[in-house]
Structure 1
Amino acid sequence: MHHFDWSGIPGALPTLWSGAIITLQITVLAIVVGIVWGTVLALMRLSGIAPLGWFARGYVTVFRSIPLVMVLLWFFLIVPQFLQSVLGLSPDIDIRLASAMIAFSLFEAAYYSEIIRAGIQAVSRGQANASFALGMTYAQSMRYVILPQAFRAMVPLLLTQAIVLFQDTSLVYVISLADFFRTATNIGDRDGTMVEMVLFAGAVYFVICSVASSVVKGLRKKVAR
């Protein structure tokens, strides 16, 4: 029978925090880039310009059809050569972190794109017609009328996807990046407390995601009013 030893957790907190910083960096960047790039992709799909629509549709289809683990591995193999040979960046850059940030940002954009596209289409056509009647261009209508309404309705879905993204960041273990989960398992392997550290890491993820989910439920009720 396993005898649990939790005594090492307090001393491991500073190291775990450094891993949590990596997790948060990936999560925040992927959310920001994913929403911005996802919005562009959604507008491409709805633009009526065939080449842009084909590109956006193909992009979304490709990234939504490939497991995230494979995307991480591919970018880990490709990004280092691109950053160093094409852009001439210093080899001192943390390639694993850069690869993870790029992979997650581009991958999540495909999912955010579909959420945003659905949100835009949910806005009444009469809103666009009214803005055109006021002399607005298509771009002005999207910027000042359609997108603000669409994003207000989409906030719960965008945050739900952000929670999924936060959970998925633990997959960076495949490229040996020391995020929160990887750091926890490294400490557990070093100290012989693997079970305790995995349970502790799982508890942290559970608490964070549960609180975030409660916030999303509250926002969903508020938006539905």
Structure 2
Amino acid sequence: MRTEPFTGPAGERHPVVRTRHWGRVTAGAVALAVAGWLVYLLVDNPRLDWGKVAEYLFHERILAGVLVTIEISVFATVLGLVLGVAVAILRLSHNPVLTWLAAFYIWFFRGTPVLVQLIFWYNLAFLFPELVLKIPFTMVGVMWDTNQVMTGFTAAMLGLGLNLAAYFAETVRAGIQAVDQGQTEAAYALGMTPAKRMRVIVLPQALRIIIPPTGNEFISMLKTTSLVYVVAGHDLMTNASQIYKANNLIMELLIVASLWYMLMTAVATYLQGRLERRFGADAVRLVRGGGLAARILPKAAS
């Protein structure tokens, strides 16, 4: 493969020949051949009915499951993020009791499988048949039947959200600790309270560090919701499994579910990329304009 020739010191023209990497060409050809062979085996398999895949791809129950999957993912992520920020702040507290409790929360929920947590919340009625909320040392309050409150959807949201909060807590803690200490010292000099300093100075800067792993956790959450089928949460995997148990189209329905999971993951990945680019651009503009503290601290002082 030749490119444009170059002129030597004496004015002579020499062709430039690009080196051929035969190892790369061979490895690429072998990889394509293997991938094509696997796709052929799947597409041409007589035991796989692609007509049924197309039929169930937009089935009413499948679409309903996709909606529930998105709802569980969003609600669990919001719950995990809010609780994770609180746990991260407690983890960085100077109070040893609060620090220890936050560390225990992170250790416990990261140390137990998500599947176990989902089953635990779904069967909470075995321990507490009624959920009671009342004023201490009085009889004033309200009571709910645990079986009616702890549905598959509620158990999924709590199990996934509380588990996700443990991971978000470490992500938020890393983002907070990455903020320049000079920003905090400047806030101290202005007489800002710790809560205001965290809300106005630290968290806005830590957000740029927190967003990428948060997006990754949300994308992972979309696929983790497939575990919800053990508590009959009416999500995508639950509805797909109920359909293939009735018609025995196991592989076809699994392919349908996989296609929807891949589509949701692709959309979430695109949105995450847009969000990261926007915050990255904002970060560059703030640095060129004199830093975040230069814009926030005067407003906070006033």
Structure 1 residues not aligned, in runs of 5+: none
Number of residue-to-residue matches in the alignment: 224
CA distance in 1, matches of 2:165, 2:109: 9
Q: Kindly tell me: are residues 3 and 62 of structure 1, through their superposed partners in 2, closer, same or farther at Cα, counting changes over 3 Å? A: closer
Say what the alpha-carbon RMSD is for the aligned residues.
2.1
Q: Given the alignment of the two structures, is residue 13 of structure 1 paired with residue 13 of structure 2, yes or no?
A: no
Change (3 A) 1:40 1:79: farther
| Distance of 1:172 and 1:34 partners within structure 2 | 17
Paired residue secondary structure (2:155): helix
Greater fraction of residues in helix = 1
> Could you tell me how far apart the structure 1 residues matched to 2:201 and 2:129 are?
39
Higher strand share: 2
Instruction: Check whether the contact 2:48–2:252 (CA below 8 A) recurs between aligned residues.
Output: no
Structure 1 counterpart SS, 2:123: helix
After superposition, the Cα gap between the structure-2 partners of 1:171 and 1:159, relative to the gap in structure 1 and judged at 3 Å, is: same
Contact 2:66–2:260 (CA under 8 A) maintained in structure 1? no
1:167 equivalent in alignment to 2:242: no
CA drift at 1:48? 1.1
User: TM-score normalised to the size of structure 1?
Assistant: 0.90
Deviation at 1:152, TM superposition (A): 2.8
Q: CA deviation at 1:82?
A: 3.6
Match in the other structure for 1:133:
189
* Structure with bigger gyration radius: 2
Please report how far the alpha carbon of residue 81 of structure 1 lies from its aligned counterpart in structure 2 after TM superposition.
5.1
Identity over aligned residues, as a percent?
32
Partner residue, 2:144: 89
Output the CA distance in 1 between the equivalents of 2:63 and 2:130.
30
2: distance between equivalents of 1:80 and 1:39? 31
Whether the 8 Å contact between 1:72 and 1:99 is mirrored in structure 2 is: yes
Structure 2 runs not aligned, ≥5 long: 1-45, 134-142, 285-302
Write out aligned runs for 1:133-152 (5 A).
133-152=189-208
Cα deviation for residue 74 of structure 1 reads 1.6
> Which residue identity does 1:2 align to in structure 2?
R
Deviation at 1:221, TM superposition (A): 4.9
Q: Which moved more, 1:58-67 or 1:182-191?
A: 182-191
Stretch moving more, 20-29 or 167-176: 20-29
- Cα deviation, 1:23-66, whole Å, max 9, x if unaligned, reads 22221111111111100100001111100000000110111111
In 1, Cα distance between the equivalents of 2:200 and 2:84?
A: 18
> Residues of 1 paired with 2:157 and 2:279: CA distance?
31
